[in-house]
Chain A
Amino acid sequence: MKYILIIILLSAPFLLNAELLTQHYPPSVLNRTGETGIILTLLGPRDNLEEVILSYREIGQYTYREIERKREDITSQEVTFLLPRLAPPAAGYEYFFIIRSSETQTTLPVNQPQLNPFRVSIPLTDTAADLFILLNPVTEIESDQDLVFAVSLYNLEKIIDPASVSLFLNGKDITGSAIYTPPLLVYTLSSPRAGIHNFQVRAQTKDGQPLQSPVWRYSVAAKATFLDELPIDIGGQAIFNSNLRNELESNDEEETMRARTRNDASLRLNLHGRKDWFAFRTRLYLSSYESSSKQAVNRFTLGFTVPHFEMDIFDSTPDYGSFLLSNNNVRGASLKAHYGVLTLQSAYGETSRALEGKTLTDSTFTAGTFQRHTFAGRLEIGTHDFLSFGLGFAKNKDRTASLAEQYYRFPAADEDESPGSLLVTPKDNVVLGSNVRLALDNQRFVLGAEIATSLYNSNTLDGVISKEELEEYLEESVPFDPESFESIIIINKNVEPIIPNMASVAYRLYVNWFIAGNFLNLSYSEVGASFRSLSSGYLQNDARILTVSDNVSLLNNQLLLDAGLNLIRDNLSEQKNTTTTNTNWYLQTMVRPRDLPYLRLGYNQNSYSDDLKENEIDQQMGAFNIGAGYNFVQIPFATTTLDIGMTLADDKDNTEMKAFDQKRTGFQINLYNAMREIPLTSRIGISSTSQKDIGDISNSYFSFSFRNEYAFLQETVRPYLNLRFNTLGGDQDDQQISNYELGTIYQPFLRTTVNTSFEIMSYQNKEIDDLDYSVFTWRLNIAQRF
């Protein structure tokens, strides 16, 4: 029981603080000589995180491109994306993040990210622009034309060393493919690939001084597709993903290897379009995990927008605030009408579908799930640009008839006896809520508050109670007839609270303030013990939460300071014997002077404790991180980035039980290398962790990873090799996990990408051979953008 309590209490802060916080500092400038790392920091639980997407485009371009990081790729709180190398005349990149969890999708920046994205520009340097003569100034190339790039070095002929002349296409040396008959340098690209092609000429004077031309950018048009011919603007993407796995594991009884297959596939199709005042959007997600015995995984959305009105049918995730409706998929319809400062929203549909339980014997079954319907509405007055006030409700009700009785009630022992006990109960819930939001200085200062109260019936099987029965139950008279409220909520002895009080109230206050490179977030919330909202995911009642974080950027983004505190305390109503407190605070800094090595330091401490004299829970976990890195631009043939780090962690259970007392020391080295003369990139990662626990138990972990990628055929084909070796040793069984992956990324057209790979993963336990297994996986990912 104690352990269950510990687990519940440990998980409480995560449930309570389900919101994933994101932090990002744009780099001061783009790296002219290679890719530029963009780091997004995720703070908080990542349990429901599905993927993080970096959406980016060149400044001045219309279309955003995307880089995805799937959940399995996100192994730490920092998610790193690499923006491709970009050189003048391009000005830089604009980008924003999409953070997609199983239930919600948020962006960073939060408000209108496409219109207000982060920006990072290219540093300017001097070029010998006037001395190089570009002979073909027509930079817009049709899809059926050859690209003739020609530069005359007529003005440089007397001072230049002819042997030093070299031509670069998209950063790669293509001098060998060009024709140089001094003073003319010509390179012809037959059937060029659609997209941007950057050319630059580099040379040396006869006395050894380097010279470089501006970077000339040619844009080759993509071949028109049938979508381009339509009289409507259409965009979107289709992504097919499949994993075919064949697992081989030891069979103890027959001393043979047993094979089994485990496959999955998904298809995501997003399509949106616009014609004058009409816009539409469709989303389709089909997964092989969809099953009638589980909650819906597939998603279908069809939506449209006309002036003053929006509608989504089938699946949508409307957000009416933290307490009314959020983080829930509604399968039905969602409407929004707005005129001037008035906005009216409404949603109706299924938030949970009926699932039958399993049949154990002829007369016994496991619990099923009732179908739940949600109906919500919200009226807002004002605008998000300044002041808005909202008032709304949410009604959630389980349909008793959606589930056969055998799946929610044990059968009676015989016909004369009363019905058996309940496996699961249908619920009824009404939430009323209001919010106010003030935004000043172009959203740089946002002050808001939300408040809500609820009525919750934990079992509606008995139906509505009569007024007389209720008065008898309460032993006092009540000023209403429960039967007259049956259409709103079924009132009986299971309603909480029957008489509204502060325990059924939840509220939240928050401030976001961005001023002079300082981004301050402050949030305080209390959720009463009786407050329930079945339409708001991840809401834990009977708790108060204080969250403070501050990000400071100084010296033109060269010095970053980040600090935060998250404090969660339960037992708001003091009805429990103990109150537990979870405190998490962190402090981190990063110094990254331009063109010099960067340094980062951080400390994070998490503590859980109760208020008992002799603590049943008292745990403290702390981790100190230090790291440094440098982008070696001095290496002439390769862009190289080296990052090293060390972690010291101390996790301790201070109760009498002393369940653990871990001390960990970890080292990490990451090396990224991109050859300049050939399109070869490689990454090497090494990490080592040693851990000591109570009872003189010591374990060690070692990991080595290597990735190599080579691009050819105008970068349309990029084969890659991934190797990863993990070894576990010490007092635990000696184990080794090896991954070998060979794949290729093929981009036959600008908007089409095919990524396929074969991977062999083998697990070896050197102490117990029977535990060995291996998995062969064939992955196929096809992405098509429209």
Chain B
Amino acid sequence: MKQSIFIIAILILFASISFAEESPVALTLRMKGDITLLRSELESRLNEGNPLINQDVLSSLDDSFAFIKFIDDGATLRLFANSILTINTEREEEKMNKSSFLRKGNIFTSVDGRKGNFEVETPTTVASVRGTEGFIDVQDDGSTLIIALSGSFAVENIISGNRALVAAGNSCSSGSDGQVEVFPTEDIDEEWLEAIADMPDSGNNILRIELLDQENEKRTIEIELE
């Protein structure tokens, strides 16, 4: 008798786990163009207002972008064209740690570090973000470029184990050959800046980007976010 009850309890638990609806962890607030959402092997078109759950894979086509916000208000993420991103989070007490995987393409992150860690993993690199705004760009071969606009990124090449700290105004390349190189940011793709300007943000609508000019002097670009 006890054995039967135990088996039934196990079955109910298994069933409840299997059929439980995954809680949303993020939301698509704005988007443009065609972005595919792959969830549990089912493919659909991403729309504004779509909640995102763990292991959702977003694939953006040409001239597309999406603005994604995590539900703890701890981070926003802008996904640019021709990118593949897997959303993943993990709850740790009151905090939500975010660890998304960028297979290829380009994202812009804006993170409030007090509300959990934010990591972006690429085929070659893990970038830990704390209170930081910046771009992460992944080439087809997995080589990764990180551009820190404010705060700092802790970068680790997972092939070589090489590490670097990327401060604001600097960029970091992390190659498929295991090399990690930090250098002053000289230029940012204008399309990326335009895409940021066209996306919503919370509160602060002015994005300030510090760059080094040809004379190695700092200059600041201010982008008014719509």
Which segment of A95-103, A146-154, A273-281, A769-777 sits at the interface?
Answer: A146-154
Q: Which residues of B contact A138 (CB under 8 A)?
A: 200
Q: Which residues of A contact B24 (CB under 8 A)?
A: 181, 183-184
B23 at interface, CB cutoff 8 A: yes
With beta carbons under 8 angstroms apart, the residue of B27, B73, B200 that contacts A186 is B27
B190 at interface, CB cutoff 8 A: no
With beta carbons under 8 angstroms apart, the residue of A137, A154, A155, A188 that contacts B49 is A188
Instruction: Fill in one digit per residue for B169-213: 1 if any A CB lies within 8 Å of its CB, else 0.
Output: 000000000000000000000000000000010110000000000
Main secondary structure of the interface of B (DSSP, over half): loop
With A133-B71, A186-B27 known as contacts, the answer to whether A148 contacts B49 (CB < 8 A) is yes
A:168-188 near B, CB below 8 Å: 179, 181-184, 186, 188
A361 at interface, CB cutoff 8 A: no
Beta-carbon contact of A150 and B29 below 8 Å: yes
Beta-carbon contact of A154 and B72 below 8 Å: yes
Q: Which residues of A contact B69 (CB under 8 A)?
A: 135-136, 150
Size class of the contact patch on chain B: 10 to 19
Closest to B50 in A: A186
Beta-carbon contact of B49 and A186 below 8 Å: yes
Q: How distant is the Cα of A142 from the Cα of B142 in the complex, in angstroms?
A: 39
Beta-carbon contact of B49 and A152 below 8 Å: no
B96 at interface, CB cutoff 8 A: yes
Beta-carbon contact of A133 and B72 below 8 Å: yes
Q: Which residues of B contact A137 (CB under 8 A)?
A: 200, 202-203
Beta-carbon contact of A148 and B71 below 8 Å: no
With beta carbons under 8 angstroms apart, the residue of B51, B96, B200, B202 that contacts A184 is B51
Instruction: Fill in one digit per residue for A752-773: 1 if any B CB lies within 8 Å of its CB, else 0.
Output: 0000000000000000000000
B21 at interface, CB cutoff 8 A: yes
Q: Which residues of B contact A135 (CB under 8 A)?
A: 27, 29, 69, 71, 73
Closest to B22 in A: A181
Q: Which residues of A contact B203 (CB under 8 A)?
A: 137
Beta-carbon contact of A183 and B73 below 8 Å: no
With beta carbons under 8 angstroms apart, the residue of A152, A179, A181, A188 that contacts B73 is A152
With A146-B48, A181-B23 known as contacts, the answer to whether A152 contacts B202 (CB < 8 A) is no
Q: Which residues of B contact A152 (CB under 8 A)?
A: 27, 71-73
Q: Which residues of B contact A182 (CB under 8 A)?
A: 23
Within the complex, the shortest CB–CB distance from B59 to chain A, in Å, comes to: 21
Q: Which residues of A contact B202 (CB under 8 A)?
A: 137
Within the complex, the shortest CB–CB distance from B143 to chain A, in Å, comes to: 33
Q: Which residues of A contact B27 (CB under 8 A)?
A: 135, 150, 152, 184, 186
With beta carbons under 8 angstroms apart, the residue of B29, B51, B72, B96 that contacts A136 is B29
Within the complex, the shortest CB–CB distance from B89 to chain A, in Å, comes to: 11
Closest to A153 in B: B71
Q: Which residues of A contact B29 (CB under 8 A)?
A: 135-136, 148, 150
Beta-carbon contact of A188 and B71 below 8 Å: no
Q: Which residues of B contact A148 (CB under 8 A)?
A: 29-30, 48-49
Beta-carbon contact of A183 and B48 below 8 Å: no
Q: Which residues of B contact A181 (CB under 8 A)?
A: 21, 23-24, 51
Instruction: Fill in one digit per residue for B57-99: 1 if any A CB lies within 8 Å of its CB, else 0.
Output: 0000000000001011100000000000000000000001000
With beta carbons under 8 angstroms apart, the residue of B21, B23, B200 that contacts A183 is B23
Q: Which residues of A contact B49 (CB under 8 A)?
A: 146, 148, 150, 179, 186, 188
With A150-B29, A181-B21, A181-B24 known as contacts, the answer to whether A186 contacts B71 (CB < 8 A) is no
Within the complex, the shortest CB–CB distance from B36 to chain A, in Å, comes to: 20
Q: Which residues of A contact B30 (CB under 8 A)?
A: 148
Can you name 11 extra interface pairs (CB under 8 A) apart from A148-B30, A181-B21?
Answer: A133-B72, A133-B73, A135-B73, A136-B69, A148-B29, A148-B49, A150-B49, A152-B27, A155-B72, A179-B51, A188-B48
Top 3 nearest A-B pairs (CB, nearest first) are A152-B71, A188-B49, A138-B200
